[in-house]
Amino acid sequence: MTEPVFDWQKGFIVDFALTGGLSATAVSTRRTLSQMRGMFADSEACEKMLTSSDPVVYEFYELGAPENAGDVAFGTSVTYPGRVGNEYFMTKGHFHTILETAEVYYTLSGEGGMLVENPEGETAFFPMTAGKAVYVPRRFAHRTVNTGTAPLVSFFAFRGDAGHNYAAIETKGYRKLVIEGEDGGIRIINNPKWETT
């Protein structure tokens, strides 16, 4: 198969597969549970799950946009349903390298939410359902969380030169966790990794 050519100067059309790697033009990047070690609070539950399977937690489709201020990077993100212990499946999450970068996510299907936090510790959780958009403000790290039973699929867009900074949240994660409570409802709790410092 010939690699697609995207003409960032004259425009193009691209298709995005919503699940299952069926896109004819966009490249899928998958993150399995083993690649998410250390991201979930209950590391014992993570290791126990990995003894029987290594599920895909999320994947995203992107085009390799030029890293220019005037271009727009965009793609689709699919976060699959599941839990590690009582913590819902989620994306790794990131700040942008250019911290003053906002991003937009438009939910195509599924349900869940966007967990955001800035370097000063301000946090929020925005519900995501089909037909609604989430605006992630400048300076906020963001992570998609699937709280439903079907894949959470969203379209995203941000400035082409923004970059991704994963290292800032890899050590201790986010200050908040999104879990399923004993009553089956969604709960936002403090991350114990942040309470030990």
| 121-139 confidence digits (pLDDT tens) | 999 999 999 999 999 999 9
In a domain, 93, yes or no: yes
Q: How far apart are CA 5 and CA 174, in angstroms?
A: 37
Whole-number pLDDT of residue 18: 59
Whole-number pLDDT of residue 22: 53
Q: Which residues of the chain have pLDDT under 70?
A: 1-5, 17-25, 196-197
**At 42, which CATH number?**
2.60.120.10
In a domain, 34, yes or no: yes
Whole-number pLDDT of residue 23: 59
Please give the backbone phi and psi of residue 33, each rounded to the nearest 5 degrees, phi first.
-60, -40
Residue 50: exposed, middle, or buried by beta-carbon count in 10 A (0-12, 13-18, 19+)? middle
Tokens representing 4?
Answer: 């697609």
Q: How far apart are CA 97 and CA 147, in angstroms?
A: 28
Whole-number pLDDT of residue 1: 44
In a domain, 96, yes or no: yes
In a domain, 1, yes or no: no
Whole-number pLDDT of residue 10: 85
The residue segments making up the domain with residue 31 are: 27-195
Q: What is the pLDDT of residues 178-193, one digit of tens each?
A: 999 999 999 999 998 8
Q: How far apart are CA 185 and CA 45, in angstroms?
A: 20
In a domain, 128, yes or no: yes
Start-to-end C-alpha separation, the chain: 52
Across the chain, what does the average pLDDT equal?
Answer: 90
Picking from 162, 167, 166, 165, the residue whose alpha carbon sits closest to that of residue 73 is: 162
Please give the backbone phi and psi of residue 142, each rounded to the nearest 5 degrees, phi first.
-145, 145
In a domain, 118, yes or no: yes
CB within 8 Å of 156: residues ≥ 6 apart = 60, 74, 75, 76, 77, 103, 104, 105, 106
pTM of the entire predicted model: 0.91
In a domain, 178, yes or no: yes
In a domain, 185, yes or no: yes
Count of domains forming the chain: 1
Quick check: helix, strand or coil at residue 18?
coil
